[in-house]
Amino acid sequence: MIEGAPSSVSEINYFLKSCFENKNHAVIIARSFPEEIIATLSINWNRQSLMVVPLNYGHDIFSINSLRDLQCIAGGLPYTNSLSDQLGKIDKSRLGYADKINIGADKIIFNATPKNLEPHKNSLLERLETTESIDKIEILNQRLCDFNNNGIEISLKDSDDIIVIFEELNNLIRYHSSLCKFGFVNYCNWKVPKNTYDSAKKASQIFLKNLESIGGFLYIPGPECQI
Protein backbone atom coordinates (compact mmCIF):
# COMPACT_ATOMS: atom_id res chain seq x y z
CA MET A 1 0.00 0.00 0.00
CA ILE A 2 1.41 3.37 -1.06
CA GLU A 3 0.06 6.72 0.12
CA GLY A 4 0.97 8.43 -3.11
CA ALA A 5 2.34 6.98 -6.33
CA PRO A 6 5.49 5.15 -7.48
CA SER A 7 7.42 7.08 -10.12
CA SER A 8 9.07 4.22 -12.04
CA VAL A 9 9.60 0.47 -12.23
CA SER A 10 13.04 0.83 -10.66
CA GLU A 11 11.45 2.33 -7.55
CA ILE A 12 9.44 -0.85 -6.88
CA ASN A 13 11.90 -3.27 -8.50
CA TYR A 14 12.96 -4.74 -5.13
CA PHE A 15 9.35 -5.67 -4.36
CA LEU A 16 8.68 -7.07 -7.84
CA LYS A 17 11.88 -9.12 -7.73
CA SER A 18 10.87 -10.55 -4.35
CA CYS A 19 7.42 -11.51 -5.69
CA PHE A 20 9.02 -13.17 -8.74
CA GLU A 21 11.57 -15.17 -6.73
CA ASN A 22 9.06 -16.33 -4.11
CA LYS A 23 6.17 -16.86 -6.57
CA ASN A 24 4.00 -14.50 -4.53
CA HIS A 25 0.77 -12.99 -5.84
CA ALA A 26 0.33 -9.35 -4.89
CA VAL A 27 -1.69 -6.18 -5.35
CA ILE A 28 0.05 -2.80 -5.31
CA ILE A 29 -2.32 -0.06 -4.17
CA ALA A 30 -1.46 3.54 -5.00
CA ARG A 31 -3.11 6.77 -6.16
CA SER A 32 -1.76 6.34 -9.69
CA PHE A 33 0.78 4.44 -11.78
CA PRO A 34 2.93 5.64 -14.71
CA GLU A 35 2.52 3.86 -18.02
CA GLU A 36 5.92 2.21 -17.57
CA ILE A 37 4.76 0.28 -14.50
CA ILE A 38 1.38 -0.67 -15.98
CA ALA A 39 3.03 -1.94 -19.17
CA THR A 40 5.63 -3.96 -17.24
CA LEU A 41 3.04 -5.57 -14.97
CA SER A 42 0.73 -6.28 -17.91
CA ILE A 43 3.43 -8.01 -19.97
CA ASN A 44 4.56 -10.18 -17.07
CA TRP A 45 0.97 -10.98 -16.10
CA ASN A 46 0.24 -12.23 -19.61
CA ARG A 47 3.40 -14.33 -19.47
CA GLN A 48 2.27 -15.71 -16.09
CA SER A 49 5.72 -14.86 -14.75
CA LEU A 50 4.75 -12.13 -12.29
CA MET A 51 1.29 -12.10 -10.73
CA VAL A 52 1.15 -8.51 -9.48
CA VAL A 53 -1.87 -6.25 -10.07
CA PRO A 54 -1.89 -2.42 -9.80
CA LEU A 55 -4.92 -0.93 -8.08
CA ASN A 56 -5.79 2.78 -7.96
CA TYR A 57 -7.46 4.43 -5.00
CA GLY A 58 -8.57 7.98 -4.34
CA HIS A 59 -10.08 8.47 -7.80
CA ASP A 60 -13.46 9.46 -6.29
CA ILE A 61 -14.90 10.53 -2.95
CA PHE A 62 -15.82 6.94 -2.11
CA SER A 63 -12.25 5.66 -2.34
CA ILE A 64 -10.23 8.41 -0.69
CA ASN A 65 -10.29 6.45 2.59
CA SER A 66 -9.64 3.04 1.02
CA LEU A 67 -6.14 2.63 2.48
CA ARG A 68 -7.36 3.18 6.04
CA ASP A 69 -10.25 0.77 5.57
CA LEU A 70 -8.13 -1.88 3.86
CA GLN A 71 -5.51 -1.62 6.58
CA CYS A 72 -8.13 -2.77 9.12
CA ILE A 73 -8.85 -5.85 6.99
CA ALA A 74 -5.48 -6.92 5.58
CA GLY A 75 -3.13 -5.24 8.06
CA GLY A 76 0.09 -3.60 6.99
CA LEU A 77 1.30 -0.01 7.11
CA PRO A 78 1.14 2.19 3.99
CA TYR A 79 4.32 3.75 2.65
CA THR A 80 4.13 7.52 2.80
CA ASN A 81 6.34 10.55 2.24
CA SER A 82 5.31 11.91 5.64
CA LEU A 83 7.34 9.08 7.23
CA SER A 84 10.24 9.60 4.80
CA ASP A 85 9.63 6.11 3.43
CA GLN A 86 11.57 4.78 0.47
CA LEU A 87 10.14 2.13 -1.81
CA GLY A 88 13.59 0.87 -2.78
CA LYS A 89 13.64 -1.37 0.29
CA ILE A 90 10.34 -2.97 1.28
CA ASP A 91 9.88 -4.06 4.89
CA LYS A 92 7.79 -7.25 4.72
CA SER A 93 6.32 -6.55 8.16
CA ARG A 94 4.55 -3.54 6.62
CA LEU A 95 2.82 -5.55 3.91
CA GLY A 96 -0.84 -6.49 4.19
CA TYR A 97 -1.99 -10.07 3.72
CA ALA A 98 -5.17 -11.65 2.34
CA ASP A 99 -6.13 -15.33 2.26
CA LYS A 100 -7.80 -14.83 -1.10
CA ILE A 101 -8.24 -12.01 -3.60
CA ASN A 102 -11.04 -12.05 -6.18
CA ILE A 103 -10.38 -9.76 -9.14
CA GLY A 104 -13.48 -8.68 -11.06
CA ALA A 105 -14.11 -6.32 -13.95
CA ASP A 106 -14.93 -3.37 -11.70
CA LYS A 107 -13.88 -4.39 -8.20
CA ILE A 108 -11.44 -6.43 -6.11
CA ILE A 109 -12.60 -8.38 -3.05
CA PHE A 110 -10.08 -9.10 -0.29
CA ASN A 111 -10.84 -12.10 1.92
CA ALA A 112 -8.70 -11.76 5.01
CA THR A 113 -8.73 -12.11 8.78
CA PRO A 114 -9.58 -8.60 10.07
CA LYS A 115 -6.75 -6.98 12.02
CA ASN A 116 -8.56 -4.13 13.77
CA LEU A 117 -11.94 -4.04 12.08
CA GLU A 118 -14.54 -3.85 14.84
CA PRO A 119 -13.22 -0.68 16.56
CA HIS A 120 -12.91 0.94 13.12
CA LYS A 121 -16.47 -0.02 12.15
CA ASN A 122 -17.79 1.24 15.49
CA SER A 123 -16.03 4.56 14.90
CA LEU A 124 -17.67 4.88 11.47
CA LEU A 125 -21.07 3.97 12.94
CA GLU A 126 -20.71 6.68 15.60
CA ARG A 127 -19.87 9.24 12.92
CA LEU A 128 -22.84 8.02 10.88
CA GLU A 129 -25.21 8.59 13.80
CA THR A 130 -24.00 12.12 14.50
CA THR A 131 -23.51 13.58 11.02
CA GLU A 132 -26.29 15.49 9.26
CA SER A 133 -24.58 15.86 5.88
CA ILE A 134 -26.26 13.75 3.18
CA ASP A 135 -22.95 13.43 1.29
CA LYS A 136 -21.08 12.22 4.39
CA ILE A 137 -23.88 9.77 5.22
CA GLU A 138 -23.62 8.31 1.70
CA ILE A 139 -19.83 7.97 1.97
CA LEU A 140 -19.96 6.37 5.43
CA ASN A 141 -22.69 3.94 4.33
CA GLN A 142 -20.59 2.89 1.34
CA ARG A 143 -17.49 2.38 3.51
CA LEU A 144 -19.44 0.20 5.94
CA CYS A 145 -20.96 -1.84 3.09
CA ASP A 146 -17.50 -2.43 1.62
CA PHE A 147 -16.49 -4.34 4.75
CA ASN A 148 -19.07 -7.01 4.03
CA ASN A 149 -19.57 -8.63 0.61
CA ASN A 150 -23.10 -9.58 1.75
CA GLY A 151 -24.07 -5.94 2.01
CA ILE A 152 -26.75 -4.40 -0.16
CA GLU A 153 -27.95 -0.89 -0.84
CA ILE A 154 -31.75 -0.54 -0.90
CA SER A 155 -33.57 2.38 -2.49
CA LEU A 156 -37.25 2.84 -1.58
CA LYS A 157 -39.75 5.11 -3.27
CA ASP A 158 -40.92 8.15 -1.34
CA SER A 159 -43.91 7.31 0.82
CA ASP A 160 -45.46 8.48 4.06
CA ASP A 161 -47.07 5.09 4.66
CA ILE A 162 -44.84 3.44 7.29
CA ILE A 163 -46.60 0.08 6.87
CA VAL A 164 -45.90 0.02 3.12
CA ILE A 165 -42.26 1.02 3.64
CA PHE A 166 -41.81 -1.63 6.35
CA GLU A 167 -43.36 -4.33 4.18
CA GLU A 168 -41.21 -3.47 1.15
CA LEU A 169 -38.07 -3.33 3.28
CA ASN A 170 -38.91 -6.63 4.97
CA ASN A 171 -39.44 -8.33 1.59
CA LEU A 172 -36.17 -6.99 0.23
CA ILE A 173 -34.21 -8.15 3.29
CA ARG A 174 -35.71 -11.63 3.07
CA TYR A 175 -34.96 -11.75 -0.66
CA HIS A 176 -31.34 -10.71 -0.08
CA SER A 177 -30.92 -13.17 2.80
CA SER A 178 -32.11 -16.00 0.54
CA LEU A 179 -29.61 -14.96 -2.15
CA CYS A 180 -26.76 -15.02 0.38
CA LYS A 181 -27.80 -18.31 1.98
CA PHE A 182 -28.87 -20.38 -1.03
CA GLY A 183 -27.27 -18.64 -4.02
CA PHE A 184 -29.22 -17.65 -7.11
CA VAL A 185 -30.38 -18.85 -10.50
CA ASN A 186 -30.40 -16.60 -13.59
CA TYR A 187 -33.99 -16.70 -14.81
CA CYS A 188 -35.30 -14.36 -17.52
CA ASN A 189 -32.54 -11.81 -16.74
CA TRP A 190 -33.41 -11.89 -13.04
CA LYS A 191 -31.36 -13.27 -10.17
CA VAL A 192 -33.82 -15.53 -8.34
CA PRO A 193 -32.91 -17.15 -4.99
CA LYS A 194 -32.27 -20.84 -5.63
CA ASN A 195 -34.65 -21.98 -2.89
CA THR A 196 -37.43 -19.85 -4.42
CA TYR A 197 -36.64 -21.19 -7.89
CA ASP A 198 -36.63 -24.81 -6.64
CA SER A 199 -39.98 -24.34 -4.88
CA ALA A 200 -41.53 -22.71 -7.96
CA LYS A 201 -40.16 -25.47 -10.20
CA LYS A 202 -41.59 -28.19 -7.97
CA ALA A 203 -44.98 -26.43 -7.82
CA SER A 204 -45.06 -26.05 -11.61
CA GLN A 205 -44.26 -29.73 -12.12
CA ILE A 206 -47.10 -30.72 -9.78
CA PHE A 207 -49.45 -28.32 -11.56
CA LEU A 208 -48.53 -29.67 -15.02
CA LYS A 209 -48.94 -33.24 -13.80
CA ASN A 210 -52.43 -32.45 -12.47
CA LEU A 211 -53.24 -30.66 -15.73
CA GLU A 212 -52.31 -33.78 -17.72
CA SER A 213 -54.51 -35.95 -15.56
CA ILE A 214 -57.63 -33.79 -16.04
CA GLY A 215 -56.92 -32.75 -19.65
CA GLY A 216 -56.79 -29.29 -21.19
CA PHE A 217 -53.90 -26.98 -21.97
CA LEU A 218 -52.15 -23.96 -20.44
CA TYR A 219 -51.56 -20.79 -22.43
CA ILE A 220 -48.83 -18.41 -21.22
CA PRO A 221 -48.63 -15.12 -23.15
CA GLY A 222 -45.43 -13.14 -23.52
CA PRO A 223 -41.79 -14.25 -23.87
CA GLU A 224 -40.97 -17.87 -23.21
CA CYS A 225 -39.52 -18.26 -19.71
CA GLN A 226 -40.21 -21.84 -18.76
CA ILE A 227 -39.22 -23.27 -15.40
Binned at pLDDT 50, 70 and 90, residue 217 comes out as low
Domain end marker among 103, 125, 149: 149
What digits encode the pLDDT tens for the residues 68-111? Answer: 888 887 888 888 766 666 676 777 778 888 888 887 777 777 77
Question: Which residues, 6 or more positions from 32, have their beta carbon under 8 angstroms from its beta carbon?
Answer: 5, 56
pLDDT at 160 over 80: no
The whole-number pLDDT of residue 227 equals 46
Q: How does the average pLDDT of the chain come out, rounded?
A: 80
Mean pLDDT score, 199-224? 72
Of 130-134, 190-194, 221-225, give the lowest mean pLDDT range. Answer: 221-225
Question: What is the phi/psi pair of residue 44, to 5°?
Answer: -70, -30
Identify whether residues 96 and 134 lie together within a single domain: no
pLDDT at 223 over 60: no
Identify whether residues 9 and 108 lie together within a single domain: yes
Mean pLDDT score, 135-164? 75
Question: Which residues, 6 or more positions from 81, have their beta carbon under 8 angstroms from its beta carbon?
Answer: 3, 4
Domain housing 16: 2-115
Q: What is the domain-level CATH number for residue 79?
A: 3.50.7.10
Instruction: Return d(Cα 35, Cα 32) in angstroms, integer.
Output: 10
